[in-house]
Structure 1
Amino acid sequence: MKRIFKYTISPEDSGSTITKYLRDLGYSRHILTHLKYTERGILQNGSPAYTNRCLFAGDTLTITLLETESSKNIIPIPMNLSIIYEDEDILVVDKPADTPIHPSMDNYENTLANGIAWYFQKQGIPFIYRCINRLDRDTTGLLIIAKHMYSASLLSQMSARREIHREYLSIAAGLVPDSGVIDAPIARREASAIERCIDFERGERAVTHFWREAVQDGCSLVRLKLETGRTHQIRVHMQYLGHPLVGDFLYCSDFPAYQKRMQRQALHSHHLQFQHPITGQQMSFTSPLPPDMAWIF
């Protein structure tokens, strides 16, 4: 993967070192180290430059990000990817159900990472897999993949500052209130490697906003927005509210009406909004309900 950036130094930045200038643009120490060991990775007016060199108004700073190896231990596997958007810096993908984000000890091949690795391999492009936001294996919907280390660094910083806004659609058991906020801490359930629970002593703060959109046959279509990003947050919070997600075999065991037809938790990452990490453009994407959820509504 190769990406070139060119910057024209303004009078305001005159006198800054290359290190300071790039750090102010969000280049991490790791990226700066990578650039130092990249041939012609940093050019000042067309000539190689050390990062302690001063910049002057009108200078042209050229940065070449070059990654020549692909992610280790990710096997490229052909997959029907639903790519919603792609440019030089990011991919936005609509993830299907039964697809983990990363390989694990018991699953080396049926993951989104395998499909993305195959997508770039068939183009002959080395690629390091960097998935910015996470979804459970059976949660469908929108995800951001960074195409190089700089966009990954900027997006990770944006995520930490809660500047990547996500909304979900879910189908919950029963009549959910019109709207509300669930503010209840979540912790790992003792003696379980997977399950989470509400725990006001050990848990980390978790906040979920919800709005009921429709009601059908004893179920509610619910729109949700997260303030925090705890594991299984929506699933645990909806169970705590008394309206677990239909098809959620981990947190909803007593709502049989749709369990045979809904073979996963009815949760979909519906809307994604963020500022493009490189251009600054406002990006907004929406994914409709997948068929296994849409049939109810």
Structure 2
Amino acid sequence: MFINEETLKLEYQVESKEKGLKVIDVIASHMHISSRLIRKCKSNHNILLNQKKTSVNQIVSKGDIITLMLDHDENTFEPNPIEIDIAFENADMMAINKPPFLVVHPTKGHPEGTLANAISYYQYRSNQNFKTRFINRLDRDTSGIVLIAKSAYAQQFISEQMQKDEVDKIYYAVVEGVVSEDKGTINAPIERAEDGDILRVVRPDGLPSITHYEVAERFNGYSLLKVKLETGRTHQIRVHLAHIGHGIVGDHLYGKCSDWIDRQALHCFEMSFRKPRGNERIVVNASLPEDIRKLIEVLRNL
């Protein structure tokens, strides 16, 4: 079991069931370290057994301490004084409630003033220094939870869960029209409309894409949906809801603009995953932002 909470140091105490295994077996199968990271630690002599450098073929005993020292990768983003809403943080990762209209990381069009720059500023103020590794991303106009890893180990651990669809992702969306069925599943492959195009469409040769939804509330001509992603394609919720005739309110790309909100009414409300250094499941929530709450009030009073 893991016995420490330090960003760039992993310490694991060998349990009875692991007695007689090689160091490499414990690291790979019980600490869940990727082969790439093992090779890197091995080549840099960053694997210790009971505080001494060791061969990865050394046999372990109950109570032995295996230590991996992770490389320190410098933060490369300029700090910008932007406040962030931290929903969860430990030595390995952060979960941030991203507001709408904030770009996740610098681009040609947005070289600064991004979430990455805000995290850099937070690091400066909290006396931390880690490379910001985004595990998931949200569109500029979508609000809600963004996960950030503080080390290559944490990124690999949670990204593998993402790839296996083991991370539960729940969104809220306000959509056009009254959705008649209380619950439903949209199973429709998604692909780019054209090569290099940002627009995605449902088409037979697309990637498998599955979205589950249930109606949280119905209004006069609109619906509030609770949406759960089974897969995570670019623009998946926006494409799927438009595909079934219930485009997201304010979505100018896949629907139409709204007089009541100046972005798509889509919010990543909850994410659930196994945290690094153990199998404990973490559930992170981010409350609905003010603009979506106001939109819902308007629709209730139509």
Q: Under a length normalisation based on structure 1, what TM-score does the superposition of the two structures give? A: 0.90
Alignment of 1:49-60 (within 5 A): 49-60=54-65
Paired amino acid for 1:60? I
> Which of 32, 39, 48 is the matching residue for 2:38?
32
- Selected match of 1:63 from 68, 79, 82: 68
**Pairing of 1:172-251 with structure 2 (within 5 A):** 172-177=175-180, 178-190=182-194, 193-200=197-204, 202-251=205-254
2:116 aligned partner: 113
Deviation at 1:152, TM superposition (A): 1.2
Instruction: Give a deviation string over 1:12-71, Cα, whole Å, max 9, x none.
Output: 3233222222111211123223323556x322122111323332333222222241x324
CA distance in 1, matches of 2:231, 2:190: 11
Out of 138, 147, 150, the position equivalent to 1:147 is 150
Task: Measure how far apart 1:231 and its partner are.
Answer: 0.7
Between the aligned partners of 2:270 and 2:293, the Cα distance in structure 1 is 16
Residue in structure 2 matched with residue 8 of structure 1 by the alignment: 13
How far apart are residue 173 of structure 1 and its match? 0.6
Q: Deviations over 1:199-232 (max 9, x none)?
A: 12x2111111111111224211111111111111
2:51 to 46, 53, 56: 46
Match of 1:279 in 2: 278
* 1:122 partner SS: helix
Q: Does the residue aligned with 2:129 lie in a helix, a strand or coil?
A: coil
Q: Which moved more, 1:208-217 or 1:89-98?
A: 208-217
Question: 2:86 matched to which residue of 1?
Answer: 83
Deviations 1:142-177 (A, max 9, x none): 122112221111111111121110110001011112
Taking structure 1 as reference, are residues 172 and 107 closer, same or farther at Cα in structure 2, changes over 3 Å only? same
Moved more, 24-33 or 149-158: 24-33
Q: Aligned partners of 2:284 and 2:11: how far apart in 1?
A: 28
Q: Deviations over 1:211-269 (max 9, x none)?
A: 1111224211111111111111110111111110011000113xx6xx13311111000
Q: Spell out, residue by residue over 1:108-157, the C-alpha distance to the aligned partner (whole angstroms, 9 max, x if none).
A: 21321111122113334321111112211111011221122211111111
Contact 1:2–1:66, Cα closer than 8 Å, also in 2: no
Residue 106 of structure 2 corresponds to residue 103 of structure 1: yes
Let me know the Cα RMSD of the aligned residues. Answer: 1.9
Unaligned runs of 5+ in 2: 1-5, 297-302
What TM-score does the superposition give when structure 2 sets the normalisation length? 0.89
Structure 2 counterpart of 1:132, which letter?
I
1:157 aligns with: 160
CA contact (8 A) 1:216 1:296 kept: no
Shift of the 163–138 alpha-carbon distance from structure 1 to 2, 3 Å rule, reads same
Q: Which amino acid aligns with 1:20?
A: D
**Paired residue total:** 289
Q: Which has the larger displacement, 42-51 or 206-215?
A: 42-51
The DSSP-based 3-state class of the residue aligned with 1:296 is helix
Contact 2:186 2:240 in 1 (8 A): yes
